[in-house]
Amino acid sequence: MDLSFEEFQRRADGLRARIAAACATAGRAPDEVELLAVTKTHPVIAAEYAARYGLKGVGENRVQEGVEKRAQTTVALRWELIGHLQTNKARLAARHFDRVQSVDSEKLLRHLARAAAEAGRTLPVLLQVNAGNDPAKFGVDLADAPRLLEVALAQPALRVDGFMTIAPLGRDDTETAALATQTFANLRELRDSLATQTGRPLRELSMGMTGDLEAAVAAGSTLVRVGTALYGVRPQPPSR
């Protein structure tokens, strides 16, 4: 990663301005939306820049990569897992991450709950919902989310903070924007109705990335997960 802290700072300032503008348009206070730096594929200095700038958390999409980076630094940060999690890595994730955003099945949820209990901790989680009905995306279907939430709320070793989603890509920018708006509205509606039903706040709505954070903030996002706009385009994995 060839990026100076000054350049990072300039980009982060730009993002905070984008978030503030989106909040103003939506009649929300800018401090209702947290910026989570997505450091996946980047060296540990990416996380250190985020901490030095004053961000509170970073997102990683692979368990092993996140665990290794975390061990390389002493900066105070919340490390969040935002990528798909297989049950065989649930123990490691439950021990080393401050929150898991990608809980998308009952089986995974039970593995995480057991691992958290064994580790003697309460693990904060978000339920990942495929709110855009995208066959290419992980996440529990909208229709199955109430049941997953019910099971999650019954686990004393888990603390359910809210929900996460990723919007589908359309064939062009116009379609992508429309899908994002719909997806985020779906998740917001789901949250509002489940919060009412369960009497829990389910406050966190993790939605919005570099390309669609304005639509997410308009729909009530509390946490935007941004990689590209902070660190540049990620190297593509080798094609097979």
Ligand X SMILES: *Cc1c(COP(=O)(O)O)cnc(C)c1O
Residue 165: C-alpha distances to residues 96, 176, 226, 238 (Å): 22, 15, 13, 26
Selected from 63, 82, 100, 126, the binder of ligand X by CB under 6 A is: 82
The amino acid that residue 239 corresponds to is S
Over the window 116 to 155, marking each residue x when it contacts ligand X by CB under 6 A and - when it does not, the resulting string is ----------------------------------------
CA angle, 117 as apex, 130 and 192 as ends, to 5°?
35
Determine, following the binding rule CB under 6 A, whether residue 205 of this chain makes contact with ligand X. Answer: no
**In the chain, how long is the greatest CA-to-CA distance?**
49
Determine, following the binding rule CB under 6 A, whether residue 72 of this chain makes contact with ligand X. Answer: no
Number of residues that bind ligand X (CB under 6 A): 13
Q: SS3 for 37? A: strand
Determine, following the binding rule CB under 6 A, whether residue 210 of this chain makes contact with ligand X. Answer: yes
Q: Looking at residue 237, what DSSP letter applies?
A: P
Over the window 165 to 194, marking each residue x when it contacts ligand X by CB under 6 A and - when it does not, the resulting string is -x----------------------------
Q: Crossing angle, helix 145-153 and helix 106-118, to 10 degrees?
A: 20
Within 8 A by CB and 6+ apart from 205, the residues are 162, 163, 187, 188, 191, 219, 220, 221, 222, 223
Part of the chain binding ligand X (CB under 6 A), chosen from 62-70, 136-144, 155-163, 223-231: 223-231
Determine, following the binding rule CB under 6 A, whether residue 90 of this chain makes contact with ligand X. Answer: no
Q: Helical H runs in the chain?
A: 5-26, 44-53, 63-71, 90-96, 106-118, 145-153, 173-198, 213-218, 228-231
Determine, following the binding rule CB under 6 A, whether residue 227 of this chain makes contact with ligand X. Answer: yes
Selected from 23, 37, 46, 61, the binder of ligand X by CB under 6 A is: 61
Part of the chain binding ligand X (CB under 6 A), chosen from 119-127, 150-158, 214-222, 226-234: 226-234
Residue closer to ligand X by CB (options 108, 226) is 226
- Residue numbers at the binding site for ligand X (CB under 6 A): 38, 40, 61, 82-83, 166, 209-211, 225-228
